[in-house]
Structure 1
């Protein structure tokens, strides 16, 4: 015999979680989520408008993120937290509900720089860098994208030449590299006679220069840089020994893409909640905006896509934790969730009217940030072609 929910039961449903997706998570996962949500409420929400307006990355919260176990949280050993993929995803969602730029810091540090060292580094490299990076005492960056090679890293122009004594000389340039101007160690990918290799470059090395990119309209509470590499001299042990070719950086990008599919839903959820609250409080023509049919339609469309996007993320996370995740499945979440999130944030901004263009409200800030999020770690077009190749068996990149 089946039963239906009573009116009271329906009233108890979370307006942001109509399907009770919270029931899909364990007590440990919910505890982690709530801890990160509390951090966002206490440390990010009260300050993010000023950080964003003044283009300030709040370096003072890096150690706090380390204390919370947010840095390299999905990695095991070497002082890393060793959390599950789903726990990492929930943390990314809550962080991006605060701001994409601060979730991006966690992604660059953990999913890119730390993952590269953890996956491909020597034991000496892992022991030297990972414990300090997990604590936030050492900041890393990941140098793959170049001024003329964004979506096509196979056209990489940065080179590394092996010298007679086994050392290396690096030359080239990188662009849109998160954290580079405050990083202590850079993972730089370069073309060699042996294929593409990864190198650990201390950022105080002569010939290495990182310059922040200014006058940005997106990710203003984050740091992205140009890097110039001019005759940088590195010892033989600077190379990551356990990888050659693009599979190295691509495996790290997939770690970042995974976190993005969760994070984008955080920005969407926050924008929806702001729009819902505003619609319930804003009076127009003698009744609240929420009493109009078009407003309700917009809110319903938002929450439906958020619920579906979180389901995509949860299923992807469970597959990842089970060790059965295919990279193709990451493209599903990155493409879908970024695309839907930016639509939700823009719609929420429109519902706020003129007030929506101010930093008093979050949706336009989220929408601006998501312009970057949907571009980095694979544009919509790149992930469409990845999925299209899988579906049809035809290569359409060229």
Structure 2
């Protein structure tokens, strides 16, 4: 596949990550570079101009992006997640209309699921869609921590749709009366706000989405009514994992440690070499568990994906913390790369499914 970043793009995105960490804003030039890079086509089927990549390929691309710019990696991951839902659950007309743009970068997709006080499992979502007599839906509600808010062209929104006629599928993530809708950025009822300043992932445009009498046609519904939980579970089974973001960050952190040791002439010391070996071993364990998720060879791919997210994120945080100790006082300077990496990898733990929700879902599977 031709989804590798060029050296020039990698340098641009790495510099952008440092700038965004200082300014707490999204870099339009970096977003343009992402759109033009070709990587957004990764998860789009070949017949729509994409690269037909599976979960393993998505993980590879996301990890590569995260090694230079974790914020853009998160934006890309959400783009791939929405693409996968349209490719699997979208109506033929929907696929013909949207997937080519999602492949060539003219459309950037984002998810808007989380809400204040709704809980990580999304079972108490209060945003609602009401079906009007003319066949359109009117969506109202507020979404929080939507990555790509204000920069995406297309949002996949999770709302309650109680019509009394849909066949519902219960799941641990989501509720049986929830459905997905696609809302275009130009819709007057969609109001993004990137006001919150995050500790990490500061270039990810993670903010709020308000839905105010947001009218969408029924053709923009993704999948059957009331089947949101089933759709979410199905995507986990593809093996695409946020653990890939953590992997990319950990790779970059280990490289920082190696460069620091070499620059300071510390490689002559056994203690330093041993610490580097330990970092390499931890990094290989993260790489292996992310690869296992993408391979989908286990009897329960969905649970493997959850485990990979949990293990990779927590291991990557330990790696970044150890690197911060290795670079000594430099690791306490606000502008040092390892400070940004540590903040970014902690952010991955709070992205859906959060690490705590991963534990809850896995415990429920084990109990059954």
For normalisation by structure 2, the TM-score amounts to 0.87
What is aligned with 1:351? Answer: 326
Deviations 1:4-27 (A, max 9, x none): xxxxxxxxxxxxxxxxxxxxxxxx
Structure 1 residues 85 and 91: CA distance shift in structure 2, 3 A:
same
Q: CA deviation at 1:72?
A: 4.3
Give runs of ≥4 in structure 1 deviating > 6 Å: none
Q: Which residue of 2 aligns with 1:307?
A: 284
Instruction: Indicate if the aligned counterparts of 1:170 and 1:233 stay in contact, CA closer than 8 A.
Output: yes
Shift of 1:316: 2.3
- Residue 39 (structure 1) shift: 5.2
Rounded Cα–Cα distance in structure 2 between residues aligned with 1:391 and 1:39: 47
Partner of 1:338: 313
Q: Tell me the CA shift for residue 253 of structure 1.
A: 5.8
More off after superposition, 75-84 vs 39-48 = 39-48
2:230 alignment partner in structure 1? 247
Q: Deviation per CA, 1:89-119: give whole Å up to 9, x if none.
A: 22222111112111111111122x2222222
Contact 2:58 2:240 in 1 (8 A): no
Report the Cα offset of residue 368 of structure 1.
Answer: 0.3
Match of 2:204 in 1: 222
Q: Check whether the contact 1:274–1:361 (CA below 8 A) recurs between aligned residues.
A: no
Long gaps (5+) in structure 2? 167-176
Question: Aligned pairs, how many?
Answer: 353
CA distance in 1, matches of 2:334, 2:7: 21
Residue of structure 2 in register with 1:278 after alignment: 260
The CA deviation string for residues 332-381 of structure 1, in whole angstroms up to 9 with x for no partner, is 21111111001101111121122223466422211101111111122222
Q: Which shows bigger deviation, 138-147 or 323-332?
A: 323-332
Distance 1:87-1:37 versus aligned 2 partners, 3 A rule: farther
Computed over aligned residues only, the root mean square deviation of the Cα atoms, in angstroms, reads 2.4
Structure 1 residue 127, shift from structure 2 partner: 1.6
Contact 1:178 1:223 survives alignment (8 Å)? yes
- Indicate which of 95, 101, 113 corresponds to 1:144: 113
In the superposition, relative to structure 1, how do residues 245 and 96 fare at CA in structure 2: closer, same or farther (>3 Å)?
closer
What SS is found at the alignment partner of 1:335? helix
Instruction: Tell me, yes or no, if structure 1 residue 387 matches structure 2 residue 365.
Output: no
Find the partner of 1:207 among 146, 166, 189. Answer: 189
Query: What's the TM-score once normalised by structure 1's chain length?
Result: 0.81
Offset of residue 156 of structure 1: 0.9
Match of 2:64 in 1: 94
Q: Which residue of 2 aligns with 1:319?
A: 296
| The one of 209, 232, 248 aligned to 2:214 | 232
Q: Deviations over 1:187-229 (max 9, x none)?
A: 1111111421111112222332110033221111211111111
* Structure 1 position 235, deviation (Å): 2.3
Q: 1:296 aligned to 2:266?
A: no
Which residue, out of 221, 230, 243, partners 1:261?
243
Q: Does the CA contact (< 8 Å) of 1:144 and 1:153 recur in 2?
A: yes
Q: 1:128 aligns with which of 97, 111, 115?
A: 97
1:180–1:374 CA distance, 2 compared to 1 (3 A) = same
Alignment match, 1:13: none
3-state DSSP of counterpart to 1:141: strand
Distance 2:300 2:293 in 1: 7
Aligned ranges 1:9-24 → 2 under 5 Å? none
**Compared with structure 1, are the counterparts of its residues 324 and 73 closer, same or farther at alpha carbon in structure 2 (3 Å cutoff)?**
farther
Aligned counterparts of 1:91 and 1:186: Cα–Cα separation in 2: 22
2:26 pairs with 1:57: yes
1:159 CA drift (Å): 0.7
Structure 1 Cα separation of the partners of residues 66 and 345 of structure 2: 10
Distance 1:325 1:82, change over 3 A: farther
CA contact (8 A) 1:187 1:199 kept: yes
The structure-2 alpha-carbon separation of the partners of 1:251 and 1:84, relative to structure 1 and needing over 3 Å to count, comes to closer
